[in-house]
Amino acid sequence: MKTKILALAAGLMTATALASVPAHADVKIGLLGGISGPIAAMAPAMIDAAQLAVQQVNEQGGIGEGEKLVGVVGDSACNPQNGTDAATKAVNIEGVVGMVGPHCSGAVLAAAGSVTIPAGVTMITPSGTSPEISNLEDNGTVFRTVPSDDFQGRALARTLKEQGYGKVAVAYLNNDYGTGLANAFKAEYVDELGGEITGFAAHEEGKASYRSNLAELASGGADTLVIFDYGDGTGLTILRQALENGFFEKFVGGDGMKSDAVIRELGAENLENFVSSSPVGEKSESLDLFNEAFKAMGQDPDAIFATTSYDAAFMMALALEKAGGKKEGVADAMMEISSGEGEPIRPGEWQKAKELIAAGTQIDYKGAAGDHNFDEKGDVPGTYALWKVGADGYEVITEME
């Protein structure tokens, strides 16, 4: 009996000792995307690219002392209210310590202003391009891996002039994305380059018909319609109705229009005179590494915002590693892991990064979409290209500067 009691006591002591060892907790980051809404066709590749980064982190040691990195997916639906709701759930219910996304500018501005900034949670968006994001009073906690639309709009304007476009009309969605891009384009095309915009009009989302809007825009005599909208939503409707009614001869889209839905719904044979701008990864070893890994997942590395989505998630993980897995210090760490100085870290090199961070060695992330050396507003430079529709999807016409 005495032996059994001693054995039981020893067992209880062992159990108590084991219980006193803290279990490794998951480190959660939000992955908020436009899973429903006007960019629904783009979002899956973006989420999958971010999940690739999460997978690589966990395969190579996780965060800190083996904590698992978990991407908590939420649907921001590409609008401010859903963005706020999804961010609130991620921060207050799921307990995320970093946010990748939302995807759309309006959702970014709303979620940041209402949720992440007050909570001290660092946000990095792979596709929120509105110039207004740069002006957030964010205490240095909002970043992006894609250039501002002020850059894209002006680059597109210069490229169209170089390509010989003349009079154009502009139709833009009345939200943060559409307005910011349209105004940047107009400022460069007209004020700087002396081009002519014969019609410049905002439209609301979700109407069944935009024929009256198009007729008014076409009345100015332009042969080209520039559409700043989403190719999965209203932008598709506008392009379809313009083609059906012969309002314009040529069509130009911003990055939101470079969607597979446009080709699928309208047919490549009807899009010979349609071009679109979008960001591209700079040719580099980093881009090659990402392309290989993403293809191995059965994914298309040329999918819009795939590279920026991967980089955003991998950079969030790097910043969390440097900050000890806590939300405090992540914003400062984000600036430090991509400053242009330090030991280069490329996509997938998580174990190398962990070892260098642990040793106190400065690192510098070289991303699939570029080096991402943030300025004081969390913005990055970038590279855009003008695309056309070819036999196998979108093909680059020229880089935009």
pLDDT tens digits, one per residue of 93-107: 999 999 999 999 999
**Whose CA is closest to 78, among 123, 130, 29?**
130
Round to whole Å and give the CA distance between 87 and 116.
7
Top-confidence residue, 366 or 18: 366
Taking Cα atoms as reference points, which of 327, 329, 338, 330 lies closest to residue 362?
338
Tokens 């911003």 correspond to 254
3-state secondary structure at position 303: coil
Rounded to the nearest 10 degrees, the angle between the axes of helix 306-322 and helix 350-358 is 30
- DSSP-assigned beta bridge partners for residue 277: 386
Which helix (H) or strand (E) segment holds residue 288: the answer is: helix 285-296
Query: What one-character DSSP code corresponds to residue 281?
Result: P
At the topology level of CATH, where does 150-280+384-400 sit?
Rossmann fold (3.40.50)
Q: CA dihedral in degrees (292, 295, 301, 306; nearest 10)?
A: -100
Residue type present at position 164: G
Element (H, E) at 106: helix 105-111
Domain extent listing, the chain: 27-148+283-365, 150-280+384-400
pLDDT band at 24 (very low <50, low <70, confident <90, very high): low
Which residue, among 142, 134, 135, has the nearest Cα to 115 in the 3D structure?
A: 142
CA distance 171 to 205: 12
Three-state helix/strand/coil letters over 310-343: HHHHHHHHHHHHHCCCCCCCHHHHHHHCCCCCCE
Write the DSSP assignment of 15-68 as a string of letters: HHHHHHSPPPPPEEEEEEE-SSSTTTTTHHHHHHHHHHHHHHHHHTT-BTTTBP
Cβ neighbours of residue 156 under 8 Å, at least 6 residues apart? 185, 252, 254, 277, 384, 386, 400
Does residue 198 surpass a pLDDT of 50?
A: yes
Closest CA to 298 of 69, 45, 70: 45
102: preceding bond cis by omega (within 30 degrees): yes
The string of DSSP codes covering 2-24 is HHHHHHHHHHHHHHHHHHHSPPP
- Own/partner long-range contacts of 269-274 (Cβ < 8 Å, ≥24 apart): 270/243, 271/389, 272/389, 273/249, 274/239, 274/250, 274/388, 274/389
pLDDT given for residue 401 in this prediction? 81
Nearest by Cα to 53 from 355, 376, 350, 372: 350
Reported confidence tier of residue 381, pLDDT bands at 50, 70, 90: confident
User: Under 8 Å CB-to-CB from 299, ≥6 apart: which residues?
Assistant: 45, 48, 49, 52, 306
Show the tokens assigned to 101: 């996304």
Domain 27-148+283-365 and domain 150-280+384-400, same fold? Reply is yes
How far apart are alpha carbons 346 and 331 in whole angstroms?
20
Put simply, whether the predicted model's pTM sits higher than 0.95 gets the answer no
Query: At the top level of CATH, which class does the domain 27-148+283-365 belong to?
Result: alpha beta
Q: Please tell me the predicted confidence (pLDDT) of residue 292.
A: 98
Residue with the larger pLDDT of the pair 12 and 353: 353
Residue 396 or residue 12, greater confidence: 396
Helices (H), 125-259: 149-162, 176-186, 211-218, 234-245
Each residue of 34-88: pLDDT tens digit? 999 999 999 999 999 999 999 999 999 999 999 999 999 999 999 999 999 999 9
Beta-sheet pairing, 274-279 with 384-390 = antiparallel
User: So what's the pLDDT on residue 222?
Assistant: 98
**How confident is the prediction for the chain on average, in pLDDT?**
93
- The span from the CA of 370 to the CA of 287, in Å, is 8
**Per-residue confidence band for 25, with pLDDT thresholds at 50, 70 and 90:** confident
